[in-house]
Amino acid sequence: MRLMTFNLRFATPADGPNEWQHRKELVVDIILKHRPDLLGTQEGTVPQLEFLAAHLPGYLPLTAHRAVDETCQYPTIFYRTSQVQVKDSGEFWLSETPGVHRSMSWDSAFPRMATYGLVKEAHRDETFYVINTHLDHISAEARLMGAKMIWDYFFPLKKPMILLGDFNEPPEGPVYGQLLGPGSPLMDTWRALHPEGQEAATQHGFDGRPRGHRIDWILLTPPFRVRQAVIVTDNQDGRYPSDHFPYAAEVDY
């Protein structure tokens, strides 16, 4: 099963030649080239997500539960309909009032959300959760509390899970410790195949030159096993689909 997390970079004229309208076809081309069975996107505005839904044949967005608000940037799960079946889905805001639309706490710069599906592969019986999130880029407390909310919601359910997204922290940070600390069943797909200390940044400035840290992660619990993990640096004559590299993993179980 192929997985991908992809921060799309929200649509803004401030990006000039890298504005969404100039790279949206490249985003589609790269997704279709790698054919993830489950794709988690971040920063997508409603028009961006509608464009992807219309131009990714064989995929559907996992949004049946969502009351769409044009002012939001949504973490969104897309799934290959031939490979994945959905049993349930939902989402909640990462705040002290998770059921309140666009609610924020802990000095978060923006409303943040976790969206999820209870899914199964078409040819198998086992169900598992796939969870997609985008933690705050300013408030360390909001990141940590958001990670704790995700932990407290999903771990008591005792189901296999895949947690992916943009966590806005390096693996040395407290969010990583919250999610992958002692006693956690979660595994970092990157570190499963690369020794600790061998890191690779997932951000760049639309120029392909890595900077910062590895902040885009795919985490998973048993029985999933990692077969491949790669930072996707595909470009078209030096034009990149986003200011983040997509990150992809192949797993089996």
Domain ranges of the chain: 2-252
Strand 38-45 and strand 2-7: the pairing is parallel
CB 40 within 8 A of CB 117: no
Res 195: pLDDT: 80
H or E element in which residue 154 lies: helix 140-154
Res 197: pLDDT: 76
- Cα separation of 253 and 120, whole Å? 12
Res 81: pLDDT: 98
Letter string b/e over residues 195-229, b meaning 16 or more CB atoms within 10 A of that residue's CB: eeeebebbbbebeeebeebbbbbbbbbeebebeeb
2-252: CATH architecture: 4-Layer Sandwich (3.60)
Res 198: pLDDT: 82
Res 135: pLDDT: 98
- Cα separation of 218 and 4, whole Å? 8
pTM surpassing 0.85? yes
Tens digits of pLDDT across the chain (253 residues): 999 999 999 999 999 999 999 999 999 999 999 999 999 999 999 999 999 999 999 999 999 999 999 999 999 999 999 999 999 999 999 999 999 999 999 999 999 999 999 999 999 999 999 999 999 999 999 999 999 999 999 999 999 999 999 999 999 999 999 999 999 999 999 999 998 778 899 999 999 999 999 999 999 999 999 999 999 999 999 999 999 999 999 999 9
